[in-house]
Amino acid sequence: MMEKRIIQVEEKVPAKLLIPLSIQHMFAMFGASVLVPFVFGINPAIVLFMNGVGTLLFILITKGKAPAYLGSSFAFLAPAGIVITKFGYEYALGSFVAVGFCGCILALLIYKFGSDWIDVVLPPAAMGPVVALIGLELSGTAASNAGLLEEKIQPENAIVFFVTLGVAVFGSIMFRKFLSVIPILIAVIAGYAAALACGIVDFTEVKAASFFALPNFSSPKFSMEAILIMLPVILVIASEHIGHQIVTSKIVGRDLIKDPGLHRTLFADNFSTMLSGMIGSVPTTTYGENIGVMAVTGVYSVRVIAGAAVLSIICSFVGKLSTLISTIPGPVIGGISFLLYGMIGTSGIRILVDSKVDYGKSRNLALTSVIFVTGLSGIAVKFGDIELKGMVLASVVGMVLSLAFYILDKFHLTNDAE
């Protein structure tokens, strides 16, 4: 049996493939990315614009070597909500700029001192479960989008969810040739058709939307108090970024931490966030949904990611088009997310398998066990207005444990030191 052909990072993609593959990536990020501006009470058009611009900047800064799509970051929701309530959205924008700037400084420090410390503080026995948690902790979001966590599940939601998930799962293993690289897009179309048949799509806002409209650009204001409320989130976004780069490395079969380098990817990510705050948009981050698309399809080309970014920019200026895409129901988003988030979780397990982690050693067993339980238990630690939980808290615990084991090794106090 022939294996699915892999389209590598630098490969060119014919136009007949490029357009549907780009649409597929845009659909994958759309539902989650527009949710953040809705929470903040701003027009999503500016966010779509910055997602596209930020992604293109990321590709440029990383020299086209790191395939990643930048969408709206959820890490800022809690502190930004506090700042918006207390000072107003303009001061939240100023805080986004400040956090992005500090992230760029962190990237420059990594450029100066290197990234070898990652192997010490996050060895495979720690990194595997941390990466797995990126997907696992999002599983509840997928179920919630699908309407499966409600007290009474609506039959139409269940039908649309199962149609979408079924096409995505069986399409990924049964489709051949051209169709084999767009199973997610086909699943979205099938799910949307099912939603139309079930009568859960509302076109009222599409009719009311103007055909052409400029995104709502706005400028930031700065307050030291607002910045200090937001600043601790840098720990969250740095941990998330490292996890995303490592899981993407495993998927594409290249060490992106070394080439183009963690300093480049982290700088690009934070520079995009800084620019977002300057023009009135929300912070950006590399998106797990798009990492999942690459895992399912075997298409890693940055040209496809760039195509999706251009489409996002176009949508930001075409009101009816962006509004039409926003009518994709939650059960459709939830259906494809079930598969995409699961793929990220599986990538974490793959790290453990590929690295041949020896669980006969007490340190590996303890690391993986404590990280999984910390991430899945619901434990939360608060520092002022910042809450660490899930994957982020688990990665911090894993780093502290790994560093402790490293120090104990130096003093020959461990019973399985290598």
CA distance 385 to 406: 32
Residue 318 lies in a domain: yes
Residue 287 to residue 181: CA distance in whole angstroms: 19
Dist. CA 13–CA 305, nearest whole Å: 11
Q: What is the pLDDT of residues 388-414, one digit of tens each?
A: 788 778 888 988 999 999 999 888 888
Average pLDDT over residues 300-328: 86
Mean of the per-residue pLDDT values of the chain: 86
pLDDT in tens, 20-32: 989 888 877 776 7
Does residue 403 belong to any structural domain of this protein?
Answer: no
For 387, list phi and psi in degrees, rounded to 5.
-115, 125
Q: Which of 246, 278, 313, 236 is nearest to 68 (CA)?
A: 246
231's CB contacts (< 8 A; 6+ apart) are 95, 98, 99, 102
Q: Which of 33, 7, 35 is nearest to 21 (CA)?
A: 7
Give a yes or no: residue 394 inside a domain: no
What is the distance, to the nearest Å, from the Cα of residue 285 to the centroid of all Cα atoms in its chain? 6
Integer-rounded Cα Rg, in Å, for the chain is: 21
Each residue's pLDDT tens digit, 164-198: 999 989 988 888 877 777 888 888 889 999 999 99
The strand pairing partners of 284, in sequence order, are: 72
The secondary structure of residue 180, as a DSSP letter, is G
Question: For residues 233 and 29, what is the distance between their CA atoms, to the nearest angstrom?
Answer: 22
Euclidean distance between CA atoms 59 and 81, whole angstroms: 30
**148 DSSP 8-state letter:** T
Say what the pLDDT of residue 66 is.
Answer: 93
Q: Which two tokens stand for residue 226?
A: 């607002």
> Tokens 């614009």 correspond to what residue?
49
Residue 418 has pLDDT above 60, yes or no: no
Residue 2: pLDDT band by 50, 70, 90 thresholds? very low
Q: List all residues 6 or more positions away from 228 whose beta carbon is below 8 Å from its beta carbon.
A: none
- Is the Cβ–Cβ distance between 69 and 55 less than 8 Å? yes
In a domain, 357, yes or no: no
User: Tell me: the pLDDT tens digits for 229-251?
Assistant: 888 778 778 877 888 898 899 88
The pLDDT-based confidence of 313 (bands split at 50, 70, 90) is very high
Statement: residue 1 has pLDDT above 70: no
What number is the average pLDDT over the span 101-113? 93
Q: Express as a percent the part of the chain with pLDDT over 90.
A: 35
Domain span at 179 = 15-350
Q: Which pLDDT tens digit goes with each residue over 329-344?
A: 888 888 888 887 787 7
Residue 380 lies in a domain: no
Has residue 61 been placed in a domain? yes
Q: Is residue 209 part of a domain?
A: yes
Is residue 322 within 8 A of residue 211, CB to CB? The reply is no
Higher pLDDT, 314 or 131: 314
Give the model's pLDDT for residue 417.
58
Residue pair 145/334 in contact by the 8 Å Cβ criterion: yes
CA 95, CA 79: separation in Å to the nearest integer?
10
Q: How many domains does the chain have?
A: 1
pTM of the model: 0.78
**And the tokens for 372?**
């999984």
Cα dist from 263 to 4, 102, 117, whole Å: 33, 13, 13
Tell me which of 80-94, 159-173, 339-353, 361-375 is least confident. Answer: 339-353
- Residue 3 within a domain: no
Q: Which two tokens stand for residue 156?
A: 């139409």
